[in-house]
Structure 1
Amino acid sequence: MQIDLRGRSEMGDYMVIASGRSTRQVAAIAEHLTDKLKQEYGVLSKTEGKETGDWVLIDTGDVIVHVFRPEVREFYQLEKMWAPSGAAADSFR
């Protein structure tokens, strides 16, 4: 799910929320994404949570990426907190 944060938050312009099926997959998605951003676009990213693999935060500056295990994503429900009012979060999954 992609959420436009422009004009709503100082932390970035966009938020991307994604899921992996397991801790290993979440960590692998995060690692692949940070490697690709660095190699193809020269973007250095800060990451948090890759060691545990439940929820990895990738901060690229303008874009904040959250990669969750499904249970953790459901618990925190960032879509409900950040999606524009009236948007159905389930339609983005």
Structure 2
Amino acid sequence: MDRTDVVAIHFKETPAHASYGWHTAPESQYVITLSGTLEFTTREGETFVVRPGDVLLAEDNIGIGHKWRLIDDQPWRRAYVVLKPGARDCFVAKKGG
């Protein structure tokens, strides 16, 4: 089984209907959505919906980064899994979800 080395996991909650303008990821990390639905926009202009159970690999720590806004009536609860610097990412993206 492949594993990815991590250095920390922490949790955050943002109230329903919130948004956050352009910002970068502070470090390479997985972001696991536990509740809430949000619209996520990348610096390349790609926009998609993130739902509970979705996992993002946030590694856009330069440039303008990304932005998001909550689009349902639930708070956004998520877990940040911080990758060890230089750790090999074993994440396999789901296509056509």
Higher RCO, 1 vs 2 (CA within 8 Å, ≥6 residues apart): 2
TM-score tier by shorter-chain length is under 0.3
TM-score by length of 2: 0.25
Q: Name the structure with the higher helix share.
A: 1
